[in-house]
Structure formats: C-alpha cells, structure tokens
Amino acid sequence: MTPDDLEARLAAAVDEAIPARLRKEFVEHLARQPVLVARQGIFSAQGRAFAYQLSFRSGGHVSEPLTWGPRQHERATAHVLGATFGRSDLETVAHGRLLFVRCPRAYLVGDLTIPRRPDRLVIEITDTQTVDARLIAGVRRLRQQGFQVAIPAFYGSAEQMRLLPHADFVKIDVRDLDVEGAPLVDVARSYGAMLIGEFVETPQMLRQARELGFTLFQGNLLERAGVLDRTTARQLSPGA
C-alpha cells in the first residue's frame, strides 16, 4: 500500500467518524456562504486576453494554502470547479476563453471527477505532486480526452521534466529569469509547449520575458486578480 493510499484511508475514516448531525449542519453552513472564485487574465504579447486563471476564494477566513494538506487542496479545487462549471452562465466567467485550474493528484489519476469541458478547462498540475507512473498515465488519459495540460512554476526539476513531454503550456516565474535565463526557457519549450511568463510585476519583467521568446503573460502589471460572485448562478444537475 502506498503512502497516498494510507492517507486516503485515514481521511475517509476521519470523515466517516463525523456524526450525521454535524455533517448536515456543515452542509447548511456551506449553503449560506457566498460562492466566490478569483480570476486573473493571461494575455498575449499584443495585450489581448487569451485565457483566465481561476483560483479559490472563500467568504470567510481560511488558513494559508501553504499550510494545507491534500484534502484541503482537493476541496479548494472542487469549490473552483463547482463554482465555475457546476453553475449556469459559464461564459460570464470564460468569455469564450480557456480557464486554467490547478488540480491536485486525485483529479489527475481519476479518483476525483473533472468536468467534461476540454473546450474550456486547462488542467494545471500542482507543483507539489509526486510524478509516478500512475500520474503520467492519468495525464495521458486526460489529454486523450481533449484536455490541455499546464505545468506551473517550472524550474526544471526531475519531476517536471517527466511531465514536460505531456504539457501544452509551461509557466515560468519571470522573477527568476535574471538567474535562470535562456537555458531554462529553452528547456521549457523543448517539446513545443507555449510559454507563459507569470508574476509579471514591472515593465522591465515584461520586456525581458518578451525578449526571451515568451508569448503569453500573467501578473499584476497586466491585471490583478478579481473576485467573481457565483452565488446567484443556478446550480446545474450532475452531468448537465
């Protein structure tokens, strides 16, 4: 049994130990919370919106994601996917563009369900994953279903290099370009992926990324993340 299997069993046992009354109260509590999602644009070199990055937002206080465990990341992703694809009026979020969502391991290997919207959803592989044969097989399966895949925060680790042949997009933190420079960029695009310069904060960062051949850009210089309220959008039935 793998560590992932042990962790999943432990999490399931903890969930089962919660009394039905508390489960019901928690569900009712969630129903009263605003359904929020953050959105930040990804732009072309000409300044046109190419796609959007979606991320978790909560109406109440939550701990920092850096302190989260696998279950918290899974629930955050479920929230983003549900708020976006599980409700009506998707195009008020997408505007005809791709939507990047970070998906932890359980979504990649098929333990959790991904919405069947390869026309909109780009699956970002979270940068903390252990890349093994099962994960690679899951990524291949998703691409066969038509999904595009992105690697965020690329710095050339051994795990990321295993994923690189399966990536349609590769994101590089432009704040690292002074140190990493052209060699990292050349590796990132060696399999034909489109490069996205992320964390673009200054005109100098944008100029440097352009000179190194980046074609897409994301960061506060171009657009700060805004928060969309999806509370009033009608929930869709499963499979809709």
Q: Decide if 142 contacts 117 (C-beta within 8 A).
A: no
In this prediction the pTM is 0.83
pLDDT the model gives residue 72: 84
* Average pLDDT of adjacent 10-residue blocks, the chain of 240 residues: 55 60 47 84 96 87 60 91 95 97 95 96 85 95 98 94 96 90 94 97 96 96 96 81
- Asked whether the CA dihedral 44, 49, 55, 59 is positive or negative, the reply is positive
Which residue in the block uniquely carries the two structure tokens 């990493």? 180
Contacts of 75 (CB under 8 A, 6+ apart): none
Structural tokens at position 211: 């000179």
Q: Decide if 57 contacts 37 (C-beta within 8 A).
A: yes
pLDDT the model gives residue 239: 60
Contacts of 83 (CB under 8 A, 6+ apart): 35, 36, 37, 230
